[in-house]
């Protein structure tokens, strides 16, 4: 297996192609990257900026450069000894445009399409209007309104000989069985002759080749005779006349799809979506023929040596993640002699293990990002910050309360159709037994609701229809929650649902006399008791996973604001801080179980850049100071508030009704965001710079308000309120307030800036030296003060970064830390060290090191050992009170705090460490060590102690080895 030494994630799209990346390969190699880690490379919706809306698995994206461009990139990588990891999206495809041939085929031929089982469509909907049809919730208003307005029309594509329903940019194919009636509507002999070719067609596969031949004849006819005849046909279905509009409506009713207002999707969609996005349709990759079709291209690229490994997107969306991983590894192993490198995107709850029976190399790193992020926080700040949040906003101090409310809201308003589908699967099981047939659909839906809203992790993974002990840890928690909220009368049904969802090994009760076997969900063969249970378990998991994602990451994390640095993908904001011992335990477990997992601190999906989170974590150390600042700023900016209709107001009482824009919660989160993302070199009097920042924050603010789904939302935007929030933001950042709020904001950022940088460097070094494969997100070699996408996907100035590469020790750039070169130098130097000693940091044992002395709680230290080779990592932490200027907020002279001055450095004065020392391994007693990050060469004394005043004299972090400094 080719295990990466380090990876760099790149987002490919038409604005950044394979050739664009190839131009920077020398830089990536000089930085120390061993493998590029590409966003999806298959063909996506036109103009896609991310690639996760694949429309064709069989072709490399032409917008990104096509297969030829990919080959040129790989050739350049190979010339520098580098490889490529590709992002694979087996869970869903884009269906919003007209580029997905598989999807269009099922719209044309319905359940007899060759691709009918490629997508997770419920062809047996309980709604008679949807049986055998696909709901298309694409209309901007109700169907009747759009039809009457003439925005839905019959069209003809002369190049393919196809009739289609046009709606804006959409083109929905008309079934060929209707072509005869369409052509005959013109009452012309030549068209009637063509119509005869379509007479008697059915949707059966045997008839589909004849339909293609008839279409060819129609296309040829139009090519030879022009389109006037077809135009006449189209006029007989024109939407602007009541008679012809009714004919158009009746034609639409005969199709294998039903057009609907987009708002209908949440309640009525009859196919699995990615989360609640009706532009992404779930793919049934568990079916062997679908698996082969989805992976044919990527397998060929892997076989031919263009791709070295895979990142699997949203593994929890699949029906059988374990079987998928097993099949994937087997096929990849057959294609090349070496074992494949595969990581999966998986959100793990605290204590939830990645399953051992998944033959993968680990996760994409959200678990590490959670651990290292929590490590930066002072646990003493948790309670006072929660109290301040509750007092200012009137909302709960506990994230769990917001999460529970969000789960109920998302389930009721966004995933109601998915809830119904899972409940129907349980109801079919109940109906097949005399002892349970009286459990009504409504009862089972109510029971299922309580189970999923209390489910603490993404999903379960039953084997042979039974939950494992690991599953039951979390399922039992959901059962306990459901019992507390369900009425006692529902408890019997709850116990049966528990058994059906894998809690019992007993056979299903015998079917009632005369019971008919029910058709399987997705148009498959009749479902027996075992398959019915497995189907219900799959639907439960494919409900609980998107519910967790939408309710936690995309709702509750935008409602709860104790400290936004803990509101991140893969994190639980109720888990405020992580002890050093627990961080070590996580590293030890990873080293033992998944030593090649990715280590990430920034991703294309993060809510806030890694350095935003590192700076905000400082607030946990100064909770009282920050609480007072919040109140002061709220009072200072009260005149800029708006009424809910967006109009200015002079003053607002401090009630807790959120009856003004932005409202107390949104305002408090806005201040945190401004503190977190304020660029280090931005001045309060820089009008252009402040305006640019305001525009970026406004983009975040709009998304945050809509994701919170309180006063406004994506489904029902309150544009007046949103405008009022934007006006508030630009009002408090207006140039005339440069001597008021702007001055206070920039001064506060300056006060905590050094501590934030110290956190950032700690986080960076831990990522680069902990067990696993360090992953770098594009551009984050310098300070990453980005916000949620699209802000974190802005173009990257790689040329600037390349120009700043150097062999100079990182410590030389500490005095100019605001420009970010010190971070780049640390990354370059440690990645060079990984290349210089690849086995040590790649395979070496992990040994937590004890720290003693007055400031022991402000240090984390560990060693990596392989044979006689050692690397010792030491980092300052929670160091606000140790920085030269004293406690944050204490006055210091301008000279002390001038850029480059000792008091301006993100470095603890050596004297402040006093007797604090790391207890070193006995092998290193009385040995001199060399620091990769500075010219320092601290010595371990005869008692085996390494004093921090020596080890951290030049940098707040150190990576110490015995054999000198590596070169890039």
Total count of domains within the chain: 5
Residue 125 lies in a domain: yes
Judgement on whether residues 729 and 596 belong to the same structural domain of the protein: yes
Do 298 and 215 share a structural domain? no
**76 with 144, same domain?**
no
Pairing assessment for the beta strands 273-274 and 153-157 based on DSSP bridges? unpaired
Which of 297-301, 560-564, 619-623, 903-907 is predicted with the least confidence, judged by mean pLDDT? 903-907
pLDDT confidence of residue 35: 98
Same domain, 83 and 132: no
Task: Report whether the peptide linkage leading into residue 603 is cis, meaning its omega lies within 30 degrees of zero.
Answer: no
> Does residue 883 form part of some domain?
yes
Quote the pLDDT of residue 770: 98
Q: What is the pLDDT of residue 886?
A: 45
Per-residue pLDDT averaged across 357-368, rounded?
97
Across 316-325, 525-534, 674-683, 830-839, least confident range: 525-534
810 within domain boundaries: no
As a whole number of angstroms, the distance between CA 928 and CA 941 comes to 9
- Sign of the alpha-carbon dihedral angle for 537, 419, 88, 57: positive
**Given this model, what pLDDT does residue 897 score?**
56
Q: How confident is residue 620, by pLDDT bands cut at 50, 70 and 90?
A: very high
Query: 889 pLDDT band (50/70/90 cuts)?
Result: very low
> Same domain, yes or no, for 165 and 270?
yes
672 pLDDT tier (thresholds 50, 70, 90): very high
- pLDDT in the model for residue 522: 44
Whether 761 is in a domain gets the answer: no
- At which of 246, 274, 302 does a domain end? 274
The reply to whether 269 and 289 lie within a common domain is no
* pLDDT computed for residue 529 by the predictor: 66
C-alpha 435: how far from its chain's center?
43
pLDDT over 90 at 648, yes or no: no
What integer pLDDT is reported at residue 963 of this predicted model?
A: 79
For residues 578 and 697, membership in a common domain is answered with yes
For residue 888, what pLDDT band results from cuts at 50, 70 and 90?
very low
Q: Tell whether the model's pLDDT for residue 895 goes beyond 80.
A: no
pLDDT value for 898: 59
The residue out of 703, 725, 749 marking a domain boundary is 749
Q: What is the CATH number of the domain that holds 296?
A: 3.20.20.80
Query: For residue 593, is it within any domain?
Result: yes
- pLDDT reading at 655 higher than 50: no
Given a cut of 50, is residue 523 above it in pLDDT? no
How many other C-beta atoms are found inside a 10 Å radius of the C-beta of residue 736?
8
81-127 pLDDT tens trace: 999 999 999 999 999 989 999 999 999 999 999 999 999 999 999 99
First to last CA, the chain: 25
485 falls within a domain = yes
One domain, residues 865 and 734: no
Same domain, 290 and 265: no
pLDDT at 884: 59
CATH of the domain at 673: 1.10.10.470
Taking every pair of Cα atoms in the chain, the longest distance, rounded to a whole number of angstroms, is: 105
The C-alpha angle 757, 763, 767, rounded to 5 degrees, equals 145
**High-pLDDT (> 90) share of the chain, %:** 90
Is residue 782 domain-resident? no
Q: Which region among 98-102, 645-649, 863-867, 952-956 has the lowest average model confidence (pLDDT)?
A: 645-649
What are the angstrom distances between the C-alpha of 265 and each of 134, 270, 786? 11, 8, 33
Structure confidence at residue 187 (pLDDT): 85
Q: Looking at the structure, do residues 129 and 151 belong to the same domain, yes or no?
A: yes
Q: Is the pLDDT of residue 136 over 70?
A: yes
Query: pLDDT for 554-593, tens place per residue?
Result: 999 999 999 999 999 999 999 999 999 999 999 999 999 9
Helix H or strand E encompassing 38: strand 35-38
* pLDDT tens for each residue of 18-52: 999 999 999 999 999 999 999 999 999 999 999 99
Q: What confidence score (pLDDT) does residue 900 get?
A: 55
Q: Give the CA angle between residues 793, 799, 804 to the nearest 5°.
A: 110
Residues 266 and 350 in one domain: no
pLDDT confidence bin for 658, thresholds 50/70/90: low
Instruction: Summarize the confidence of residues 606-619 as an average pLDDT.
Output: 98
CA distance 393 to 659: 12
Question: Of the ranges 33-47, 300-314, 503-517, 594-608, which one carries the lowest mean pLDDT score?
Answer: 503-517
Q: CATH code at 881?
A: 2.60.40.1180
**CATH code, domain with 168:** 3.30.1590.10
Contact 23, 77 (CB under 8 A): no
Q: How many other C-beta atoms can be found within 10 angstroms of the C-beta atom of residue 115?
A: 19
* Average pLDDT of every residue of the chain: 93
CA nearest neighbour of 446 among 484, 379, 507, 493? 493
Overall pTM surpassing 0.75 (yes/no): yes
Please report where in the chains the tokens 């069985």 appear, as a residue.
177
* Span 201-227, average pLDDT: 94
**pLDDT (tens digit per residue) in 147-197:** 999 999 999 999 999 999 999 999 999 999 999 999 999 888 899 999 999
| Mean pLDDT across 706-722 | 95
DSSP-derived secondary structure for 218-250: HHHHHHHH-SHHHHHHHHTT-TTSHHHHHHHHH
Tens digits of per-residue pLDDT, 851-865? 999 999 999 999 999
Q: Which two tokens stand for residue 696?
A: 């970026």
Domain assignment present for 421: yes
CA–CA distance, 11 with 789 (Å, rounded to integer): 12
Q: What is the mean pLDDT of residues 869-896?
A: 73
* Predicted pLDDT of residue 790: 93
d(CA 172, CA 202): 19
**Quick one: 577 and 705 in the same domain?**
yes
pLDDT, position 651:
45
Per the structure, the complete domain to which residue 67 belongs is given by 7-91+285-364
Task: Using the predicted structure, report yes or no on whether residue 512 has a pLDDT greater than 50.
Answer: no
Q: In angstroms, how far is CA 940 from the centroid of its own chain?
A: 44
Compute the residue count for the chain: 968
**Per-residue pLDDT band at 530 (split at 50, 70, 90):** confident
Per-residue pLDDT tens for 751-786?
A: 999 999 999 999 999 999 999 999 999 999 999 999
Q: What is the predicted pLDDT for the residue at 647? A: 79
Q: How far apart are CA 278 and CA 301, in angstroms?
A: 30
Last residue of a domain, one of 240, 274, 308: 274
pLDDT at residue 474 above 90?
A: yes
Tens of pLDDT, residues 920-948: 999 999 888 999 999 999 999 999 999 99
């Amino acid at each position: 297996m080719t295990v990466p030494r380090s990876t760099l994630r790149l987002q490919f799209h038409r604005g950044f192609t394979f050739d664009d990346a190839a131009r920077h390969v020398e830089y990536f190699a000089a930085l120390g990257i061993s493998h590029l880690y590409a966003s999806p490379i298959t063909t996506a919706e036109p103009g896609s900026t991310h690639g996760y809306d694949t429309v064709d698995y069989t072709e490399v994206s032409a917008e990104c450069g096509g297969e030829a461009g990919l080959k040129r990139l790989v050739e350049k990588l190979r010339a520098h000894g580098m490889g490529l990891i590709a992002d694979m999206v087996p869970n869903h495809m884009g269906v919003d445009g007209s580029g997905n041939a598989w999807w269009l085929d099922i719209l044309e031929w319905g359940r007899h399409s060759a691709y009918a089982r490629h997508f997770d469509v419920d062809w047996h909907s309980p709604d008679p209007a949807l049986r055998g049809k696909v709901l298309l919730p694409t209309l901007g208003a109700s169907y009747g309104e759009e039809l009457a307005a003439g925005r839905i029309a019959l069209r003809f594509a002369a190049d393919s000989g196809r009739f289609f329903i046009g709606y804006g940019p959409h083109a929905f194919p008309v079934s060929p069985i209707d072509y005869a009636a369409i052509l005959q509507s013109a009452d012309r002999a030549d068209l009637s002759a063509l119509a005869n070719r379509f007479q008697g067609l059915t949707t059966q596969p045997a008839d589909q080749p004849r339909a293609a031949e008839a279409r060819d004849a129609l296309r040829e006819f139009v090519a030879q005779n022009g389109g006037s005849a077809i135009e006449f046909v189209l006029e007989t279905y024109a939407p602007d006349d009541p008679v012809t509009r009714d004919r158009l409506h009746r034609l639409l009713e005969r199709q294998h799809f039903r057009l609907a207002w987009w708002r209908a999707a949440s309640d009525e969609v009859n196919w699995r979506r990615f989360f609640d996005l009706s532009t992404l349709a779930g793919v049934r990759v568990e079916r062997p023929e679908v698996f082969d079709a989805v992976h044919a291209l990527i397998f060929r690229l892997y076989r031919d040596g263009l791709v070295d490994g895979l990142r699997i997107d949203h593994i929890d969306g699949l029906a059988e993640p374990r079987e998928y991983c097993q099949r994937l590894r087997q096929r990849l192993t057959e294609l090349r002699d070496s074992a494949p490198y595969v990581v999966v995107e998986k959100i793990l709850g605290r204590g939830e293990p990645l399953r051992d029976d998944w033959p993968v190399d680990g996760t994409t790193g959200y678990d590490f990002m959670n651990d290292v992020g929590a490590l930066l926080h002072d646990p003493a700040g948790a309670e006072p910050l929660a109290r301040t949040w509750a007092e200012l906003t009137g909302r709960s101090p506990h994230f769990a309360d917001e999460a529970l409310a969000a789960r109920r809201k998302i389930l009721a308003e966004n995933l109601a159709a998915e809830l119904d589908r899972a409940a129907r699967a349980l109801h079919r099981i109940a109906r097949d037994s005399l002892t349970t047939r009286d459990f009504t659909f409504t009862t089972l839906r109510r029971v299922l609701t309580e189970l999923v809203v209390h489910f603490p992790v993404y999903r379960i993974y039953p084997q042979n229809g039974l939950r494992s002990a690991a599953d039951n840890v979390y399922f039992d928690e959901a059962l306990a929650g459901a019992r507390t909220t369900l009425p006692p009368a529902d408890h019997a049904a709850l116990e049966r649902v528990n058994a059906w969802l894998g809690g019992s090994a007993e056979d299903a009760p015998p079917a009632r006399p005369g019971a008919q076997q029910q058709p399987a969900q997705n148009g498959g063969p009749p479902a027996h008791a075992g398959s019915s249970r497995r189907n219900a378990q799959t639907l439960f998991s494919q409900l609980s996973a998107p519910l967790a994602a939408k309710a936690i990451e995309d709702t509750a994390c935008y409602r709860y604001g104790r400290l936004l640095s803990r509101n991140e993908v893969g994190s639980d904001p109720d888990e405020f801080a992580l002890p050093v011992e627990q961080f070590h335990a996580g590293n030890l477990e990873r080293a033992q179980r998944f030593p090649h997992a990715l280590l990430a601190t920034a991703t294309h999906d993060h809510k806030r850049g890694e350095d935003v989170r590192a700076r905000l974590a400082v607030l946990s150390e100064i909770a009282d100071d920050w609480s007072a600042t919040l109140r002061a700023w709220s009072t200072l900016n009260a005149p800029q508030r708006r009424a809910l209709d967006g109009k200015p107001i002079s003053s607002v009482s401090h009630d807790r009704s959120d009856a003004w824009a932005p409202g107390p919660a949104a305002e408090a989160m806005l201040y945190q965001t401004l503190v977190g993302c304020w660029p280090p070199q931005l001045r309060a009097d820089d009008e252009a710079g402040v305006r640019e920042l305001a525009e970026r924050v406004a983009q975040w603010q709009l998304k945050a308000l809509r994701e919170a789904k309180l006063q406004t939302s994506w489904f029902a935007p309150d544009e007046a309120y949103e405008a009022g929030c934007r006006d508030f933001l630009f009002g408090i950042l207006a140039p005339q307030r440069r001597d008021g709020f702007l001055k206070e904001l920039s001064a506060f950022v300056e006060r905590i800036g050094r501590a934030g940088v110290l956190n950032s460097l700690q986080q960076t070094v831990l990522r680069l030296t902990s067990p696993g494969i360090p992953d770098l997100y594009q551009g984050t070699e310098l300070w990453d003060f980005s916000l949620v996408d699209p802000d974190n996907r802005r173009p990257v100035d790689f040329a600037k970064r390349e120009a700043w590469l150097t062999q100079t020790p990182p410590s030389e750039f500490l005095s100019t830390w605001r420009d970010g070169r010190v971070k780049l130098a640390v990354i370059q130097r440690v990645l060079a060290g990984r290349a210089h000693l690849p086995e040590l940091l790649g395979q070496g044992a992990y040994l937590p090191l004890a720290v003693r002395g007055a400031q022991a709680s402000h240090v984390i230290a560990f060693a990596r050992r392989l044979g006689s080779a050692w690397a010792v990592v030491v980092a300052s932490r929670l160091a606000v009170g140790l920085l030269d200027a004293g406690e944050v907020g204490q006055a210091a002279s301008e000279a002390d705090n001038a850029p480059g001055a000792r008091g301006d450095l993100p470095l603890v004065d050596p004297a402040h460490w006093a007797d604090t020392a790391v207890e070193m391994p006995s092998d290193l007693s009385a040995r001199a060590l060399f620091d990769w990050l500075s010219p320092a060469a601290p010595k371990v004394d005869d008692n085996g102690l390494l004093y921090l005043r020596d080890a951290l004299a030049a940098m707040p972090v150190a990576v110490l080895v015995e054999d000198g400094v590596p070169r890039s």
